[in-house]
Structure 1
Amino acid sequence: MKFNYSFQKVVDLKTSEKSHAEMHLSSAIGQLQAEKHTLGQLFSDKDQMADSLQTQATNAVSAFQLQQMQDYINYIDQCILQKRQDIQTAQVKVEEKKEHLTTKMLDEKVWLQARGKALESFQKEESLREQNELDEMATVRFASRTR
């Protein structure tokens, strides 16, 4: 006899939900990494512009050009501040997705354990049934020999 768990669709649903939660966490981590990479690029741009500003300051450059370079550095600073906020938001999102995944993993584990217990019970019943059949066959054989 084959084991048929009556709540198998629930187990499958919980496994599917866990897989979706894993994908969402992976996506959130990817977003966080992208934000960090962008922040690194902004710092690199700022360093290059600061070096260029120092180089230009020693050369004969108009005050207007120096002011434009300084304004651009200030703009990059504002972008860096915004990007840090974006990173914090992305980190919060990653933590939320981790908590959600943990919840889904626990749900799945509970249902898998319930399925495992049902399978174990089924196997015990099946073993007992088989043993009873073997006992009955042995009894019939013994009874037929004694006649």
Structure 2
Amino acid sequence: MTAIINYDDVEVGTELPARTFPVTRATLVQYAGASGDFNPIHWNEAFAKEVGLPDVIAHGMFTMAEAARVITDWTVDPAAVVEYSVRFTKPVVVPNDATGATIEVSAKVAAKLDERRVRVDLTATSAGQKVLGMARAVVQLG
């Protein structure tokens, strides 16, 4: 499958639809089960605080994956993402309440590359703090 976005129709500065992703403690337990990452900083509040965290935090790879969804929703083809990298700058703190946390993600086309590829830069925040830095993807367009 190829991305339905046509390279010739995309300009530098094109903004992808922003998304907000809710994260609860239940979400973290589900992700732990799927990923096999049962580190107690992701589910045990006492342990997380004992090691110096403010509370339980979301898995970094979970945060990274949620951010990538902005791109895969745009392209409608996860295989269109040919490169993806981030730096983890702050953890997503997930309180033990009905609301949990949110991850807000925006993205825009930062450069048109060769071979019908574009570089997309992402911004991901939670509680007003940037949680991913240097978040970039190379995307193959149709």
Q: Aligning the two structures, in what range does the TM-score lie when normalised by the shorter sequence?
A: under 0.3
Instruction: Please state which structure has a larger fraction of its residues in helix.
Output: 1
Q: Taking structure 1 as the reference length, what is the TM-score of the superposition?
A: 0.21
Q: Radius of gyration: which is bigger?
A: 1
- Bigger share in strand: 2
Could you tell me the TM-score, scaled by structure 2's length?
Answer: 0.22
